[in-house]
Amino acid sequence: MKKATKADIEIIKQAFIEKYSDAVTELNYKNDYELLIAIILSAQCTDKRVNIITPALFEKYPSVRELAVADLEDVKALLNSCSFFNNKSKNIIKMAQSVLMNYEGEIPHDQQKLMKLAGVGNKTANVFMIEFEGANLMAVDTHVFRVSHRLGLSDGKTVDITEADLVKKLKGHDLHIFHQAMVLFGRYICKAVKPECDNCLFPQVCKTKQSFKPA
């Protein structure tokens, strides 16, 4: 696949900033506790599904204090329509226990500290910091991975390599905007199946349009 040129990258950056500069996550949350759990649950699960199941969870367990002593089977029952709900149920309870034990019940707003919590990897920590703190970071989910490869911004085989490529090529103070932009662009326009190429923001720089089969 052809790589995006410097001129292509500038076109992409400008279009994303113009359309998505005010974009935020589509996950529903009221505080940092709810946001972190929603992000953990959203791994390989749609935001729409997460938003359906979290209200009951947050009503019963409104903070880490209640969740830390939650019955595992009860949490599983609340999350059973979420992908990998068994592991996610265990992880959010362990996360709550760790926050109580190590951070006085306050969700840490630090990338490295977040990554020490159960169920929180680099992507989850970055998404949390981007959304809650407006941190100048890049997080690569399935949408970002797909869009970055289709646009020639990365040919990395892993999420970590792709993230490094994007940080290098989209360098500046707007990485958080580009993350949100690529998530929404990938979710609604540059979809995995039947991408809406007629609605593309920059068809002149796409590297893969010719390979898509018409619907």
- Residue ranges for the known binding site for [4Fe-4S] cluster are 190, 197, 200, 206
Q: Where are the beta strands (DSSP E) in 40-163?
A: none
d(CA 76, CA 84): 10
If 0-12 CB within 10 Å is exposed, 13-18 middle and 19+ buried, where does residue 153 land?
A: buried
- Which of the residues 141, 168, 194, 198 is marked catalytic? 141
d(CA 102, CA 109): 13
- Which of the residues 123, 155, 169, 191 is marked catalytic? 123
- Residue 78 near residue 96, CB atoms below 8 Å: no
Q: Which residues are annotated as a binding site?
A: 190, 197, 200, 206
- Residue 12 near residue 213, CB atoms below 8 Å: no
d(CA 67, CA 95): 9
- Residue 152 near residue 162, CB atoms below 8 Å: no
d(CA 103, CA 98): 7
Question: Does 123 qualify as catalytic in the annotation?
Answer: yes
Question: Does 116 qualify as catalytic in the annotation?
Answer: no
d(CA 114, CA 190): 31
Tokens 């113009």 locate to: 18
Task: Give the active site residues.
Answer: 123, 141
